[in-house]
C-alpha cells in the first residue's frame, strides 16, 4: 500500500504526471548512474588514464537493465548509498574491464551528476508546460480584453476591471517564470566530479582535465570548484518550482472563488461526473483548482526543506544531503501535476460574461464611486467630493437605491453634474482605466 499520493495507483495522475515520474523513478535513476559511470570511463580512456579497450567494454556491457534491483536494494540498505552496490554488480558484467569502473570518483559525484541530468530533463518538461500555459492565458487575455467584471480587493467590490486584465495578470507570472527558468539553467546544470573530498587528489595532475572532459561528454557545465556541500543550485531549482506552484495556487484560488454559486463567473471545463458529490447531485466542485492549491502548499514545504538542507558540515555532509532525495523529485512531480491541471482547466475554462455583468451591477453603481468623486472634484475639490460621494454611497446602500439616483437628488451635485454626466460616471464600463491597454502591453501588441 503506497504511503504517498505520488505513488498511489488511485491518485498519482491527479497529483503528478507520468512523464515527470518517469524522469525520477528507480529505473531512470539507476540508468543515470550507469550513464555517468560510462561517460567517466570514456573520457578517462581518451586522456590515457585507463585502457581504451576497458572503456569500450564498460560502454558495451554496463547495462542498467541487467542489474538485479532486489540485490541493489538490499546492499544499498547496508551501505547507505547505492553506488558501491551498483559498481559491485557492474564490474562482473564488464569482466576484467570492470576494475577500471568508478576510477577516481566518489559516490556523491555519481549521484549528484545523475540528479543534475534528471533535473535537466525535468526542466524541459516544465518549460513545455509553461509555454503551453502561456499560450492559453495569452488567448484568454485577448478574448476578454474588454469584458468588464468586478475587481475585488479584500473580497469586496473595488473598481471595474476586465477579465482579460485578470488573465494578463496571471500571464505576467507565467512569463516571469519562463524567464527565471532560462536564467536558472546555467547555475543548476553543472556536473559534479571531485573525488573523496572534492580535490580530485586520486587523479593527480589530470583531475581537472577529467572533470572538464566528463562535463563536456554529458553536456553539463563544469564547476570551478567542487560543490559537494554548496547546494544552492539544487535549492534554487526547488525555490523556482515553489514559485511556479505558488502562482498556480493563486490562479486556482481565483477560479475557485469565481466558481462559487454566489459569483458564478467562471467554471472548470465540464466533464460528466467531474467534481460530483456522492450525496449532492447538483455539485460541480473545482477539482483541478483544489489539486493546484494543494500542490502550492506542498511544494512550498519542500522549498523550505531544501533551504534547511543547505546547512552542511565541512567538506561532505553528515545527513542533509538525504533530504534532497525526496524533496527534489517530489517537488518536480507535484509541480508538473499542477501545471497539467492548470493547462486542462484554463484551456477549457467556461466564462460567463453575463454573470460578470450582473455582478458588476450588484452594488447599484457603488463600484464606480471613485469615478464619480473624480468627476465631481474639479467642481468642488477632491476632499469635498470624497465626502459628498461617501454620504451618497452610504445613503444608496441603506436605501437599496442606485447611486446615480441618490446623486441626482443631492443639492451639492446638482448644477455641477447633469443627469447624463452622472449616468455616464456611474457606468462601470466607462471606468476601466488602462486595463485593456495593459492587456495589449502584456501580450506585446501595443
Residue pLDDT, tens place only, 369-389: 888 888 888 888 889 989 888
- Over residues 83-107, the mean pLDDT reads 94
Helix (H) or strand (E) holding 78: helix 69-79
Q: What is the tens place of the pLDDT at every residue in 330-372?
A: 999 999 999 999 999 999 999 999 999 999 988 888 888 888 8
User: Does the pLDDT value for residue 283 go beyond 60?
Assistant: no
Q: In the 8-state DSSP scheme, what is residue 204?
A: G
Global pTM exceeds 0.75: yes
Q: Judge if 70 and 105 occupy the same domain.
A: yes
Q: How many residues does the chain have?
A: 446
Q: Is 363 a catalytic residue?
A: no
260-280 burial, b for 16+ CB within 10 Å, e for fewer? Answer: eeebebbbbeeeeeebeeeee
What's the CA gap between 55 and 253, in Å, rounded? 55
Per the residue annotation, which of 4, 277, 399, 434 is the catalytic one? Answer: 277
Residue 44 lies in a domain: yes
Per the residue annotation, which of 4, 17, 88, 154 is the catalytic one? Answer: 154
Q: Judge if 324 and 246 occupy the same domain.
A: yes
What's the CA gap between 26 and 118, in Å, rounded? 12
What's the CA gap between 227 and 310, in Å, rounded? 11
What's the CA gap between 291 and 309, in Å, rounded? 27
Q: Is 322 a catalytic residue?
A: no
What phi, psi does 270 have (nearest 5°)?
-80, 125
pLDDT at position 1: 58
Q: What is the CATH number of the domain that holds 163?
A: 1.20.200.10
Looking at the structure of the chain, the number of domains it has is 2
Q: Which domain holds residue 385?
A: 365-425
Name the band, by pLDDT with cuts 50, 70 and 90, for residue 315: confident
Q: Judge if 294 and 375 occupy the same domain.
A: no
Residue 178 grid coordinates: 519562463
Residue 88 lies in a domain: yes
Which residues are CB-contacts of 37 (< 8 A; sequence separation ≥ 6)? 58, 62, 86, 87, 90, 101, 102, 105, 110
Q: In the 8-state DSSP scheme, what is residue 150?
A: E
% of the chain residues with pLDDT over 90: 69
% of the chain residues with pLDDT over 70: 97
Name the band, by pLDDT with cuts 50, 70 and 90, for residue 415: confident
Q: Which residue has the cell 489539486?
A: 291
Q: Which residue has the cell 436605501?
A: 399
Mean predicted lDDT score pLDDT of the chain:
91
Q: Judge if 401 and 295 occupy the same domain.
A: no
Per the DSSP assignment, residues forming a β-bridge with 152 are 157
Amino acid at each position: 500500500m503506497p504511503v504517498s499520493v505520488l505513488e498511489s495507483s488511485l491518485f498519482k495522475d491527479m497529483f503528478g504526471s507520468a512523464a515527470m515520474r518517469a524522469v525520477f523513478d528507480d529505473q531512470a535513476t539507476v540508468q543515470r548512474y550507469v550513464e555517468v559511470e560510462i561517460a567517466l570511463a570514456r573520457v578517462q580512456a581518451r586522456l590515457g588514464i585507463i585502457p581504451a579497450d576497458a572503456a569500450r567494454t564498460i560502454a558495451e556491457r554496463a547495462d542498467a537493465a541487467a542489474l538485479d534491483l532486489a540485490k541493489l536494494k538490499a546492499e544499498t540498505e547496508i551501505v547507505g548509498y547505492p553506488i558501491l552496490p551498483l559498481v559491485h554488480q557492474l564490474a562482473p558484467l564488464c569482466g576484467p574491464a570492470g576494475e577500471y569502473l568508478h576510477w577516481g570518483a566518489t559516490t556523491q559525484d555519481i549521484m549528484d551528476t545523475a540528479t543534475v541530468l534528471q533535473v535537466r530533463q525535468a526542466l524541459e518538461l516544465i518549460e513545455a508546460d509553461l509555454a503551453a500555459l502561456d499560450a492559453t492565458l495569452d488567448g484568454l487575455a485577448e478574448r476578454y480584453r474588454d469584458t468588464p467584471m468586478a475587481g475585488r480587493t479584500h473580497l469586496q467590490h473595488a473598481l471595474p476591471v476586465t477579465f482579460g486584465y485578470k488573465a494578463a495578470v496571471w500571464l505576467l507570472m507565467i512569463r516571469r517564470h519562463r524567464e527565471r527558468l532560462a536564467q536558472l539553467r546555467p547555475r543548476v546544470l553543472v556536473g559534479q566530479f571531485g573525488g573523496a573530498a572534492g580535490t580530485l587528489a586520486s587523479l593527480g595532475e589530470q583531475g581537472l582535465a577529467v572533470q572538464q572532459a566528463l562535463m563536456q561528454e554529458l553536456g553539463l557545465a563544469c564547476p570551478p570548484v567542487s560543490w559537494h556541500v554548496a547546494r544552492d543550485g539544487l535549492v534554487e531549482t526547488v525555490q523556482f518550482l515553489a514559485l511556479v506552484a505558488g502562482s498556480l495556487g493563486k490562479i486556482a484560488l481565483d477560479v475557485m472563488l469565481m466558481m462559487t454559486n454566489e459569483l458564478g463567473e467562471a467554471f472548470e471545463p465540464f466533464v460528466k461526473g467531474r467534481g460530483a458529490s456522492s450525496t449532492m447531485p447538483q455539485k460541480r466542485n473545482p477539482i483541478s483548482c483544489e489539486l493546484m492549491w494543494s500542490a502550492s502548499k506542498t511544494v512550498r514545504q519542500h522549498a523550505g526543506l531544501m533551504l534547511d538542507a543547505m546547512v552542511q558540515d565541512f567538506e561532505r555532509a553528515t545527513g542533509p544531503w538525504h533530504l534532497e532525495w525526496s524533496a527534489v523529485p517530489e517537488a518536480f512531480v507535484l509541480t508538473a501535476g499542477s501545471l497539467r491541471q492548470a493547462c486542462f482547466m484554463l484551456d477549457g475554462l467556461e466564462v460567463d460574461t453575463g454573470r460578470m455583468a450582473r455582478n458588476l451591477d450588484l452594488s447599484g453603481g457603488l463600484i464606480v464611486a471613485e469615478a464619480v468623486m473624480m468627476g465631481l472634484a474639479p467642481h468642488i475639490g477632491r476632499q469635498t467630493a470624497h465626502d459628498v460621494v461617501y454620504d451618497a454611497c452610504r445613503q444608496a446602500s441603506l436605501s437599496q437605491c442606485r447611486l446615480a439616483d441618490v446623486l441626482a437628488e443631492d443639492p451639492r451635485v446638482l448644477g455641477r453634474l447633469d443627469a447624463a454626466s452622472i449616468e455616464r460616471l456611474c457606468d462601470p464600463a466607462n471606468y476601466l482605466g488602462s486595463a485593456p491597454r495593459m492587456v495589449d502591453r502584456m501580450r506585446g501588441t501595443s
